[in-house]
Every structure is written in C-alpha cells, then in structure tokens.
Amino acid sequence: MTTVERSQYKVIGTRPVRPDGVEKVTGKALFGADVQPAGLIHGRVLRSPHAHARILRIDTSEAEKLPGVLAVVTHADFPKTVARVEQLGESTINTNEVGENVLASSKVLYRGHAVAAVAAASRMVADEALKHIRVDYEVLPPVLNVIDAMRDDAPILNELLRTRSMGGKVGDKPTNIAAYNQFKGGDVESAFAAADAVVEHEFTTSMVHQGYIEPQTSTANWNADDNITIWTSTQGAFGVRGLTAQILKHPISKVRVIPMEIGGGFGGKSPVYLDPVAALLSKKSGRPVKMTMSRAEVFEGTGPTSGTVIRVKAAVKDGRLTAVKADLRYEAGAFPGSSVGAGAMCMLGPYIVENFEIETYDVVVNKPKTAAYRAPGAQPAAFACESVIDELCTKLDLDPLEFRLKNSAKEGTRQVTGLPFGRIGCEEVVQAALSSPHYLSPIEGPNRGRGVASGFWFNGGMQSSVVVAVNVDGTVNLIEGSADIGGTRASLGMQLAETLSLPFEAIRTSVVDTDSIGHNDVTGGSRTTFASGMAVHEAGLDIQRQMCARAARLWGCPPEDVFYEEGVLHCRTDSTRELTFAELARQSARTGGPIVGKASLSARGAGPAYATHVVDVEVDPETGKVSILRYTAVQDAGTAIHPAYVEGQMQGAVVQGIGWALNEEYYFSEDGRMLNSSYLDYRMPTALDVPMIDTIIVEVPNPGHPYGVRGVGEVPIVPPLAAVANAIAAATGHRFTDLPISPRRVVETLHNLD
C-alpha cells in the first residue's frame, strides 16, 4: 500500500470546524442523560458499604412494596451463563466476571460494588427504596494494596483464582495473583556488573480515575416483543450490545444500542455497568428506565486505573543503556485484568536495550475493578523507567535528550516481545524536542527545574466498518459506528473528502447505532482515525470504482477507460468526455440506482507513536507546592489529519498527566472506603493550575496507512508523570518516587516532618 505524499493533500492537514460543533456549543447535542422517552422512570443502584464481604441474604420485599416502586432486581434475576473470554477494547474480559461486577451474587469485593437496583417513578423514590433493601453481609477483612495482597496470609478475594503465566501454566493454590509474566532478553546481571553507573529505585503510584465530566448513564427500553433499545454513554456501542446480550442471555439481534454523544471516556466507558441493569428493570416494570450515576458512584463504582508498585534497575555504559531489570506489580481491582502487560511492553519502547528482564504481576485487591485509562499500563511503567534514566543521566552528566537520541529505538529494533519495529518516529521526536524553543531556552531562578521524559504506545487496529452513500446533489453521507470522543467525525470525514477529492463540507458524517452499521470495535486504543480511517479510504475507493462504472455506462465506453481525478471523471480515449462528481451523482437513478459504497476490515499495520515532553517547574520549598511554568509536548502523529484536534489530544493528555503526577489519588480508609469521592477532594487540574501547553507535531508517516496515520490519543499521557517528577528532582535535588508528588509529600520530605 502506498502512502500519498504529504504535499498533495487538499483537506488533510487543514482545520475545518468539526461537524458536531454547532450542536455542542449551543447545548443541542444529545448526551446520554438528555434522552427522555415517554413513560420514563428512574433506576438507582444499591452499593456495598463494605470493601470485602460475603452476601448472606438480600431481602427486597420491603422495597418492592413502597408506593412508586415499579421493579427491583438483583443478580438472581440474571440468567445463568457460561463464562466467555472476550476482547473489549484494550482489555481482555471474562464475561461472567462482568456480570458479577454489574451486580454481585455471593460476594462483594469493593465498597461501591453494585448489589441491587430499583426502578421507581422518581429518583427520590428510588433512593428511598434503596434504604428498604436489607442485605445481610458477613464482613471480611479487606486487602488494599498489591504488597499485602501477595502475602501468603492475605485475605483471598476469589477462592477459585489461580495464577496464570505465559505458556499456559496455571498455579495450584488460591491466590490474589491472577497472572505472572516475564519478558527476558540477553544477560542483565553481566551488564550490571560491567556498567559505568547503575541506578535502582522502587516506585509507587496511586489508583486514579479517568475523571470524565459526564457520569455513566444508560436508558433502556425492553419491549413486549423482547426487542431492547439502549441509549447509553459509551465508547463502543457494539461492546455494550455484546456484553448486555451475553449477561442477559439475549440474542444480540434483539439488542439495539444507540451511542449518544459521550462526555469523555478515556477508556473508562468501554466497560459496561448500568446497561444490563437498566434493561432488566425495564423488563420487569414494562417502562423505559434511565439510570445515571452520581459523581460518587462514578468514583466508587466504575473502573479507575491501577495503583502500582514498580522496581526498576538500569545500567549505562559508555553512554549506552545496557540493561533494564524491572518488577511491575499492578492492582487489578476486584477482578483480574490490569494492564501490567502493556506497561512491560511499553516502558522500553523508546530505547534499544539488549539486556532486559521484566516481571509482571496482576494482583486482585478489594478496590473497584480497574478499567483502561488512556494508554493503560504504560504511564506508571514510564514514570519508573524514565525517572531511573533521568537519574543515570544526572549521575553521568549526560544531557537527557542527547542520551535518548543516542539510545533511540529505530526501524528494526526488537521490542521486549521480540517483534521488530517498522518505520517509527522515535528519533525524530527526540530531535524535535532537543531543538525546540523550550529546550533551547535557559531555565533560571531558584527552586526551578526542567525535566524531560519520553513515552511509547503501540496503538491499535481492530475492526471497523463504514458505509458511504452518494446523495443526488453530489454530497456524501458517511455512516460509521465509532463513538466520537475526540473529533473523529472530523478526521474520518476529512479522510473521505481527501479520497474523493471533495471539499470537507460535502461530507456528512453520522455515528449510528448497532442496527444501522456493521460491527465496529470500541473507540479506544487510538485506533479510530487509523482503522476507521482506513475503512473510509477503502469505501471511498469503492465509490470511485462505482462512479467510473456509471460514467462508462453513460458514455458507452469500457469501464477501464474511465478514471477519476481531482473530483472529475475522465475518459482516456476521449478527452471531451468529462463529468464532475456532482454531475454524475445527479444521474444515479438513470445509471443503475443509488451509489453506495462500503468497507469493513480488521486493521493491521497500526503505527506505534512516540512522545517526548519538556517541562519547567517551580517548587515552593516552604509549602511544597509545585507550579508548572512551561510545558512542551512533542509527538509523532504520522500524518496529522486535523492538526487542531491532534494538538487537543496532546494538551488534554498532558493536563491529565499533570494531575496524576501532582494531586490525584484515591484516598482510602483502612477499611477500604474511598474518602475523597468528589471533585472537591479528588483534585483534577483546573484552568488556573496549568499554563498554555505548547505542542510540536512531528510527522513520520505510518507506511501501514494510506494517509500515514498513527494514533495520537494515548501516547501523550505516558511521559508527563516522569517529566514532572524529573523537573521536581532538578528543582529540589530530591527524587520523588511515589505519586502523587503532592505538596504534603514534598513538604514532609524536604522538611523531615514525618
């Protein structure tokens, strides 16, 4: 497949207003909670107050009798199903465990774990009814961090869980260690022995939340003919359809999922929480049921990302990174499946390292089941690795960016998985950071420091299908099934416009429901502009072929004589023959009927992405407050389809990373209650907490995509944790190895207060 040369793009690289923009700035766009079918009633969820307990008995009889209550459900209302392991976005899931997480049957495994649900005439009545559901618990001791959970005497969450290792090996005793894996190459011990410098640290990061401003919401209507309609806030309508159908043992053809506009996801809205419950409540009550989480429920009842304990030891000789040994332990939450594997596979992505040994542990703890958070698994691993590399550079008086350039991964470099890289932009990104105005400017003043860090993310491909319909006025409908969480209506419309040599305004893009398009995997893994874009390109070529055949019919010449160029159809053998796209479209009916093209694929050839960030901070030594003075994010986008939205992805991810580095954390009591489950005390950056975020887009086109696209949404959240920590190390002389580097932590450390 050839990549179209950059200079020939007419639409790609421009900055049109996004198609859903006017609706969003006027408040007319419909998000999940905005839908209000006739007869709507409201559902609310009863959640476990205990972090770990057996459910002895659930008595819903009192609640059912309350006036205004129309239905009550528990796990007992789900049909018995057989477990299946499936791919959901960037995670692998066990569908039985999903059902257990949606409504607990015999055990509650975290505070906030859903236990029952009620549908009533109003939210107030539903909330009142929850108080009348009696649950008898046998409270068990909780385990709240990976170290405690891995001890032999730890409370066990699931007696049936055994450790799985690569190669199919399964452990033989009850454990909280769901999986153990190892990536090995070369001989780390010899490299350590021969090194000029070796640095080793243990790092910890806290559980954090994606923080999307829109809480989960689902409205379901179960008709008497057993057709279910679900309006939901999701990153993947087909995922919701599949999981809901599986949990309810219902044919997927009778489940229609309508993805509403989504108010942020970042990976946290790929899983399913409310949809099967709302559907069941609708079945029992005969009414459409809307369920929307409160902010506290979002924190306590959805999927934050893992807290971690990571040990990294690295060696440098003659300016080369010669060995990295790492031990990664990630919290999976209540059920197995953290992203520790991705962490291991990404942490060395920016480097050539011959000797490595990485061990990974996926550990269940009594906290909410973790979900993907934007490059899931990569950020804590990069925090640890990039911090150690930073310290090695400081020790050996090496410029940290020159070091990264010298040790940069290139095309052909083998990853820890053994697979070699194709064409990548790692060097180009580091070089751009090195020559950036930010890096070239001096940093001056007391208590100030500069930090850099790199990051890597593989990016995904997966399944997409699109349909393209030509309208008689020469405009085109693009029908696609990828939830638009970052501007993909624009990036996909632009790729189709480019393929058809039409102006962007001629393309009308719609994100449709699961009845209206073939399967599309979740919008996640930075895959949509890449994979759905590939499909759009193919569908565009399909339209071109059909247009040529129609023109051939009109002109009475062989189809192979007709070609399409710059929006006009020509005849090779007769230069007087010419039709524009619009002119031919007008004649669809006479030339054979509506012109509709399609493409569906499981995309291969995703291009990995690299990012290198530079940040200047100032630390108030008396209060421990860290201020971000200046931030530059450099990233390889392959080809930036819509540069403003690429910049936006970079800037948003950077600010999430800053929050993660400095202030965000789940603060648990000793008995496993999250104490800060509100935006007051779960402290995400406000507009006043960050400066302008400068962005530099590097373009090393991905040969695997017709327009050279590399996913952009995830890699920019990988470097900030280390970049900020490295800057603080430079400013204070102290290396903080535990996140968040909150003012409390800084001041207690610098002033020896604890």
Dmax over CA atoms of the chain, in Å, equals 89
Residues 302-331 that bind other proteins (CB under 8 A): none
Q: What is the rounded distance in angstroms from the CA atom of residue 44 to the CA atom of residue 65?
A: 16
Q: Which of residues 124 and 472 has its CB atom nearest to other proteins in the complex?
A: 124
The window from 335-343, 390-398, 485-493, 504-512 that contacts other proteins (CB under 8 A) reads 485-493
Among 472, 592, 681, 734, binds other proteins (CB under 8 A): 681
Contacts to other proteins from residues 254-293, by CB under 8 A: 261-266, 292
Q: Which of 652, 704, 708, 719 binds other proteins (CB under 8 A)?
A: 652
Which of 468, 497, 476 lies closest to 597, judged by CA? 468
Segment lying near other proteins (by CB under 8 A), choices 400-408, 515-523, 545-553, 680-688: 680-688
Using the rule CB under 8 A, which residue among 487, 493, 597, 672 binds other proteins? 487
Shortest distance, CB of residue 187 to other proteins, whole angstroms?
Answer: 43
Tell me which residue of 510, 496, 523 sits closest to 711, measured CA to CA. 523
Residue type, 468: V
Task: Please list, in sequence order, all residues whose beta carbon lies within 8 angstroms of the beta carbon of residue 367, skipping any fewer than 6 positions away.
Answer: 51, 110, 144, 207, 304, 307, 331, 333, 334, 666, 668, 672
Structure tokens at 624: 């421990």
Of 309, 551, 655, 696, the one binding other proteins by CB under 8 A: 655
Q: Which is nearer to other proteins, 212 or 456 (CB)?
A: 212
Identity of the residue, 177 or 654, whose beta carbon is nearer to other proteins in the bound complex: 654
Instruction: Show contacts with other proteins in window 694-753 (CB under 8 A).
Output: 742-744, 747-748, 751, 753
- The helix/strand count (H/E) of the chain reads as 20, 29
CB of 169 to other proteins, least distance (A): 41
- Considering only 230, 653, 709, 731, the residue that binds other proteins (CB under 8 A) is 653
**Residue numbers 660-679 binding other proteins by CB under 8 A:** 662-663, 667, 675-676, 678-679
Q: Which two tokens stand for residue 360?
A: 């990974």
Residues 529 and 75: their CA atoms lie apart, in Å, by: 38
- Residue 590: both structure tokens together: 């006479």
Stretch that binds other proteins, among 218-226, 310-318, 560-568, 682-690 (CB under 8 A): 682-690
Is residue 211 part of the contact set for other proteins (CB under 8 A)? yes
Question: Does residue 568 bind other proteins (CB under 8 A)?
Answer: no
Q: Which of 647, 709, 724, 730 binds other proteins (CB under 8 A)?
A: 647
| Residue of 77, 90, 100, 214 that binds other proteins (CB under 8 A) | 214
Joined together, the tokens standing for residue 536 give 């759009």
DSSP-based three-state secondary structure for 171: coil
Closer of 408 and 488 to other proteins (Cβ): 488
Binding mask 624-643 vs other proteins (x if CB under 8 A, - otherwise)? xx------------------
Q: Residue 552 or 626: which CB sits closer to other proteins?
A: 626
**Residue among 15 and 134 whose Cβ is closer to other proteins:** 15
CA nearest 715: which of 377, 428, 423?
377
Dig out the tokens for 207 from the structure. 């559980």
Binding residues for other proteins restricted to 47-86, rule: CB under 8 A: none
**190 versus 678: smaller Cβ distance to other proteins:** 678
Nearer to other proteins, 518 or 621 (CB): 621
Sheet holding 114-120, edge to edge: 69-74, 114-120, 41-47, 289-292, 217-222, 228-232, 255-259
Q: How far is the CB of 454 from other proteins (least distance, A)?
A: 19
Nearest approach in angstroms of CB 676 to other proteins is 5
Q: Which residue has the tokens 């057996």?
A: 54
Q: Which residue has the tokens 């971690």?
A: 308
Binding string to other proteins for residues 155 to 194, with x set by CB under 8 A, is what?
----------------------------------------
Selected binder of other proteins within 74, 210, 216, 302 (CB under 8 A): 210
* Stretch of residues binding other proteins (CB under 8 A), selected from 318-326, 426-434, 512-520, 689-697: 689-697
Q: Find the binder of other proteins among 301, 685, 704, 719 (CB under 8 A).
A: 685
Measured from the CB atom, the residue of 136 and 748 that comes closer to other proteins is 748
Q: Under a CB-based contact definition with an 8 Å cutoff, are residues 196 and 272 in contact?
A: no
Among 654, 696, 723, 739, binds other proteins (CB under 8 A): 654
**Which residue in the set 648, 671, 703, 738 belongs to the binding site for other proteins (CB under 8 A)?**
648
CB of residue 683 to other proteins, shortest distance in Å: 5
- The binder of other proteins chosen from 226, 253, 686, 734 (CB under 8 A): 686
Q: With both helix axes pointing from N to C terminus, report the angle between 643-662 and 720-732 in degrees, rounded to the nearest 10.
A: 50
Site for other proteins in 8-47 (CB under 8 A): 15, 17-18, 20-22, 24-31, 33-34, 36
Among 3, 181, 227, 294, binds other proteins (CB under 8 A): 294
Work out the number of other CB atoms within 10 angstroms of the CB of residue 317. Answer: 16
732 to each of 371, 449, 493, 623, how far by Cα in Å? 34, 8, 48, 13
Helix (H) or strand (E) holding 311: strand 308-317
DSSP 721-748: HHHHHHHHHHHHS----BS---HHHHHH
Our CB check for other proteins shows the closer of 77 and 665 to be 665
Give the number of other Cβ atoms within 10 Å of residue 274's Cβ: 33
Binding of other proteins by 690 (CB under 8 A): yes
* Beta strands per DSSP E along 403-526: 448-457, 462-470, 476-480, 507-511
Residue ranges in 114-153 that form contacts with other proteins under rule CB under 8 A: 124
Classify 477 as helix, strand or coil: strand
Number of residues that bind other proteins (CB under 8 A): 78
> Measuring CA to CA, how many Å separate 312 from each of 199, 326, 348, 357, 669?
8, 4, 11, 10, 29
Task: Select 75 or 683, whichever has its Cβ closest to other proteins.
Answer: 683
Q: Considering beta carbons, is residue 34 or 515 the nearer one to other proteins?
A: 34
Which residue in the set 254, 327, 683, 738 belongs to the binding site for other proteins (CB under 8 A)?
A: 683
Closer to other proteins by Cβ: residue 266 or 335: 266
For other proteins, the binding residue among 693, 709, 725, 731 (CB under 8 A) is 693
Nearer to other proteins, 529 or 656 (CB): 656
Residue among 713, 656, 714 at smallest CA distance from 682: 656
Rounded to the nearest whole angstrom, what is the least distance from the CB of residue 587 to other proteins in the complex?
35
Distance CA 415, CA 351 (A): 9
Q: How far is the CB of 435 from other proteins (least distance, A)?
A: 22
Give the E-state strand segments of 425-532 in sequence order. 448-457, 462-470, 476-480, 507-511
Among 75, 164, 254, 295, binds other proteins (CB under 8 A): 295
Residue of 256, 254, 213, 259 whose CA lies nearest to 232: 259
Q: How far apart are CA 238 and CA 244, in angstroms?
A: 10
| Residues of this chain, 593-622, that bind other proteins according to CB under 8 A | 622
Cis-peptide, bond into residue 400, ω within 30° of zero: no
Looking at the Cβ atoms of 344 and 640, the one nearer to other proteins is 640
Q: Which stretch binds other proteins (CB under 8 A): 411-419, 448-456, 459-467, 659-667?
A: 659-667
Minimum gap (Å) between residue 192 Cβ and other proteins: 38
In Å, what is the CA distance from 688 to each residue of 627, 629, 685, 691, 692?
Answer: 10, 12, 8, 8, 10
Tokens of 169: 């090996």
Q: How many residues does the chain have?
A: 754
